[in-house]
Amino acid sequence: MNGLHRSELSSPRNDRKESERLISLEEAAALLELDEEDIKAFVAEGKIPAYNIGGKFLRFRKGQLEALRSRLRMLKHQSVPIYHLTPPPEPGVRQKYSLFDRIRDFVYFNDFYILAFILIALLIAVIITKR
């Protein structure tokens, strides 16, 4: 959601009692006119503030969602893409992946094993030279 700021969402526009009411995921989807999966994705990305109740139930403040709904309507009228900010790669086109990138990824994902191998080799070298 391009141009959406958390500071705008943190200040509710309605009266205090109405803004304090927490609503469910289904109600939020109906209010924002989005799918529940899209809302979960936006929550995971930090674009929509949400609260976990009991560790598994998502709840939202109605005032924050109304501010978000008005912002979404403005973005839709400005023809700003909401869901996909970057276009997906075309099918059949392979991304360039250089040798340096491959080595960097290998070291990043296997750094523990590389370090352990070096330490074991050093310990073996110290043990052999002490005899």
Residue spans per domain, the chain: 6-77, 99-130
So what's the pLDDT on residue 7? 53
Closest CA to 5 of 50, 56, 68, 51: 68
Closest CA to 75 of 42, 51, 50, 44: 42
- Contact assessment for residue 65 and residue 19, using Cβ atoms and an 8 Å cutoff: no
So what's the pLDDT on residue 64? 82
Among left, alpha and beta (phi > 0; psi -120 to 50; other), residue 55 is left
CA–CA distances in Å: residue 131 to residues 121, 124, 125: 16, 11, 10
Q: How far apart are CA 39 and CA 45, in angstroms?
A: 10
Take residue 58 and report the two structure tokens written for it. 């998502």
Rounded average pLDDT per 10-residue block, the chain, 131 residues:
52 53 86 84 82 79 83 69 54 76 89 95 95 80
Whole-prediction pTM value? 0.45
So what's the pLDDT on residue 90? 67
Kindly report the CATH number that applies to the domain delimited by 6-77.
1.10.1660.10
Closest CA to 9 of 17, 57, 1: 1
So what's the pLDDT on residue 91? 72
- Contact assessment for residue 9 and residue 49, using Cβ atoms and an 8 Å cutoff: yes
CA–CA distances in Å: residue 18 to residues 12, 58, 61: 9, 18, 9
Q: How far apart are CA 43 and CA 50, in angstroms?
A: 7
